[in-house]
Amino acid sequence: MYIVRVTYTKSKEAIYIPSNELRRILESAMIRAGVYVAYTKDNIPDITFADNIALGIESTAEICDVALQEPIDATYIVKSLNRELPSGIVVLTVEQIGDFEPQIDKSAYAVTYEITPKLGDVSKMTNREYDDLRAWYRYQMKKYLSEPNILVLVKSLDRSERIDIKPAIMNWDIQINDATRVTVSKDTEYMFNPHYIMDGFMEFVDRKIDYTVKRIKILYN
């Protein structure tokens, strides 16, 4: 069996495609491109994703391992798939991995998100007001992420509960543009959603803040 590791982006409407649907989309694109994916015993395309991502989140760093029936040039796969994939999914690289290497879902151990606040309409503020707002945000975010526990209310269809997301946070820093980069472990009891961070932060400061979130890296051994 010939296994390739595919890195790709998800943006635009593609951020709402769940993993099971994405597997079907990749399979169809490969068939049209003349790239023959292998199948499991259950007749499912042998495509393994590094980590599930919550719907609605953009990513520039998605990874999956794809088992192929026969070797094929990696450059050809990139070009061919990008002609066939829907808008918002762009293959960046394809590389062969050895049979001895663990699949990406086993070797991936953390992911990094970038959360960028929208602090208001700059045209309606003086430079001093905007600088003060930025300073307030940075101070409060540092204080919030430094708390020993970060309890966030998580709602599901049948119940609501508070979970402590602090154990999942491996490290964080605030960029010069006020974006917060947070690296979280995959080894948690729940699927980590980066919106938890801002949900908890807005409760912490008792203020609504618009923001964007993007996954920028998957760390693996």
**Domain housing 95:** 2-101
Tell me the per-residue pLDDT of 113-140, one tens digit each, with 9 for 90 and over.
999 999 988 888 999 999 999 999 999 9
Tell me the per-residue pLDDT of 33-87, one tens digit each, with 9 for 90 and over.
999 999 999 999 999 999 999 999 999 999 999 999 999 999 999 999 999 999 9
Regarding whether 210 and 116 lie in a shared domain, the answer is: yes
Amino acid residing at 127: N
pTM: 0.92
Report the chain's mean pLDDT, rounded to a whole number: 94
Regarding whether 132 and 212 lie in a shared domain, the answer is: yes
Res 154: pLDDT: 87
Regarding whether 86 and 117 lie in a shared domain, the answer is: no
Find the CATH number of the domain harbouring 12: 3.30.70.580
Quote the crossing angle between the two packed helices 19-33 and 74-84, to the nearest 10°. Answer: 110
Helix (H) or strand (E) holding 153: strand 151-155
Regarding whether 209 and 158 lie in a shared domain, the answer is: yes
Which letter does DSSP use for residue 123 in this model?
Answer: G
In total, how many domains does the chain have? 2
> In the structure encoding, which two tokens stand for residue 87, read together?
């808008």
